[in-house]
Amino acid sequence: MAETADVVIIGGGVQGASLAFHLTEKGVKPMVLERRFVAAEATGRSSGLVRMHYDVELDARLAWISFQYFRNWSERVGGDCGFTRTGFLQFIKPEYASALKANVAMHQRIGIPTFVVTSDDVHRLSPMMKIDDIEVAAYEPESGYADPSATAQSFMDAARRKGAVLHQDCMVKAIQIHSGRVIGVETSQGVFNAPVIVNAAGAWAADVARMAGLDIPVNTWEHDTMFIRRPKELSIGHPTVIDDMLDMYFRPETGGLTLVGLEDNNPIGKPPDSFIDRAKPGYIERAIDRICQRIPGLDQGSWHSDHGGFDGITPDERAILGQAGPEGFYLQCGFSGTGFKTAPAIGACMAELIVDGAVHTLDITPFSLKRFSEGKMLTGDHSYDSAWH
């Protein structure tokens, strides 16, 4: 007879793992089905930035709630998420200075420790950066980065200690529906029954939604990153920075490394099973040129490694959360390149929605699928350029 679970979660990335953890906290026993292994895709490739600076208040709130997990991980979840506090700086183009100030005011209202700093302040924080193009920036002294694979794995370990089941190397091939509601899945390891099925399949979310007869506007987004080894003179490190002036972000990594990601030239719509063990040709040269404009001393650094990854992306570059399609089918996808840092809060909200029928942590209804048909795409009141042009 087929195994039965309270909830089947398709996808063992940080989002599926966070949901599994939060469901078990509510006494529910989920089953996570992962076609490869935990954190094999976007999560394992993620740059792991943990910051709260968003132009949409809901995103900032999700990141702020999640931050309470990252900084108390061993007590809240168990294990280690590798959170490293570096301080975070958001650089913007000069024409967005007033938008930045409005966003920082919004963040402060929520309770996030952040303030506006001048270029002199930035220089004092990190003298290695050349910042003659920066007038003001947002600073979050508590923020930094975490280890996405360790985060997902410790969520999953904690969930399994409380009764969650994990099947790896388990590809979901079809979703069974009877009288308008989901009843189970067909997989490479057989059939599993469940009255609730959650699509946390990352860049494959549109394929999984189609198995439930649902079309969702989740495309694929490909993103490369590289690590550069800093020369000895720069061994002290630097803050984590999103640098809209130069269309990039960077952060320190242990072992004297700096991770660099570029915000431009991230292809949309490529098959997510493409080769991603290395960054695309030309990426390393562009990334080195860009980071050396900001940290000139890195021209004495050396290439360490590079890779790429895929995430699902939506038209407004915000997640899709909530019930949609057949009864019992839920979406937790479309994270558009920023779904690591918010995974703890999103897992909590989705568990409340599934088990209690309502979300108490935060109202996530603006993230529903129907916002696209209703013309209610999510945008910030004070937005900067689109991130992933």
Ligand X SMILES: Cc1cc2nc3c(=O)[nH]c(=O)nc-3n(C[C@H](O)[C@H](O)[C@H](O)COP(=O)(O)OP(=O)(O)OC[C@H]3O[C@@H](n4cnc5c(N)ncnc54)[C@H](O)[C@@H]3O)c2cc1C
> Which residue number, 55 or 311, has a Cβ lying nearer to ligand X?
311
Instruction: Tell me how far apart the alpha carbons of residues 170 and 187 are, in angstroms, rounded to a whole number.
Output: 6
> Which residue number, 37 or 115, has a Cβ lying nearer to ligand X?
37
Which residue number places its CB atom closest to ligand X?
13
Instruction: List Cβ neighbours of 174 (8 Å cut-off, separation of 6 or more).
Output: 185, 186, 211
Residues 6, 7, 11, 136: which binds ligand X (CB under 6 A)? 11
Report, in Å, the least distance between residue 96 CB and ligand X: 21
**What's the token pair of residue 368?**
């529903």
Instruction: Please name which of 101, 172, 177 lies closest in space to residue 329, comparing C-alpha atoms.
Output: 177
Range 139-158, binding ligand X (CB under 6 A)? none
Task: Calculate the alpha carbon distances from 177 to 114, 170, 174 in Å.
Answer: 48, 20, 10
Report, in Å, the least distance between residue 94 CB and ligand X: 25
Instruction: Tell me how far apart the alpha carbons of residues 309 and 220 are, in angstroms, rounded to a whole number.
Output: 10
> Which residue number, 24 or 225, has a Cβ lying nearer to ligand X?
225
Instruction: Tell me how far apart the alpha carbons of residues 313 and 260 are, in angstroms, rounded to a whole number.
Output: 21
Range 216-245, binding ligand X (CB under 6 A)? 223, 225
Residue 367 in the binding site for ligand X (CB under 6 A): no
287 has which bridge partners? Answer: none
> Which residue number, 15 or 86, has a Cβ lying nearer to ligand X?
15
Report, in Å, the least distance between residue 335 CB and ligand X: 3
> Which residue number, 136 or 310, has a Cβ lying nearer to ligand X?
310
Residues 8, 10, 28, 295: which binds ligand X (CB under 6 A)? 10
Strand order through the sheet with 196-199? 165-167, 30-33, 7-10, 196-199, 329-333, 320-323
Residues 7, 16, 226, 316: which binds ligand X (CB under 6 A)? 16
Instruction: Tell me how far apart the alpha carbons of residues 340 and 87 are, in angstroms, rounded to a whole number.
Output: 18
> Which residue number, 184 or 337, has a Cβ lying nearer to ligand X?
337
CB 272 within 8 A of CB 107: no
The one-letter code for the residue type at 168 is: Q
Report, in Å, the least distance between residue 168 CB and ligand X: 9
Q: Helices (DSSP H) in 246-315: which residue ranges?
A: 283-294
Range 190-209, binding ligand X (CB under 6 A)? 200-204, 208
Residue 167 in the binding site for ligand X (CB under 6 A): no
Q: Helices (DSSP H) in the chain: which residue ranges?
A: 14-25, 42-45, 57-70, 73-76, 97-110, 119-125, 148-161, 205-211, 283-294, 343-356
Instruction: List Cβ neighbours of 103 (8 Å cut-off, separation of 6 or more).
Output: 53, 54, 55, 138, 380, 382
Report, in Å, the least distance between residue 312 CB and ligand X: 7
b/e sequence 352-378, b meaning 16+ C-beta within 10 Å:
bbbbeeebebbebeebbbebeeeeeeb
> Which residue number, 13 or 82, has a Cβ lying nearer to ligand X?
13
Task: Calculate the alpha carbon distances from 320 to 58, 127, 330, 367 in Å.
Answer: 13, 40, 10, 5
Number of residues that bind ligand X (CB under 6 A): 39
Please identify, among the stretches 54-62, 116-124, 294-302, 309-317, the one whose residues bind ligand X according to the rule CB under 6 A: 309-317
Please identify, among the stretches 94-102, 339-347, 349-357, 369-377, the one whose residues bind ligand X according to the rule CB under 6 A: 339-347
Question: What does the per-residue mask of binding to ligand X show for 32-71, with x meaning CB under 6 A?
Answer: -xxxx---xxxx-xxxxx----------------------
> Which residue number, 136 or 243, has a Cβ lying nearer to ligand X?
243
Range 107-146, binding ligand X (CB under 6 A)? none
> Which residue number, 129 or 201, has a Cβ lying nearer to ligand X?
201
Q: Binding residues for ligand X, per CB under 6 A? A: 10-16, 33-36, 40-43, 45-49, 171-172, 200-204, 208, 223, 225, 309-311, 335, 337-341
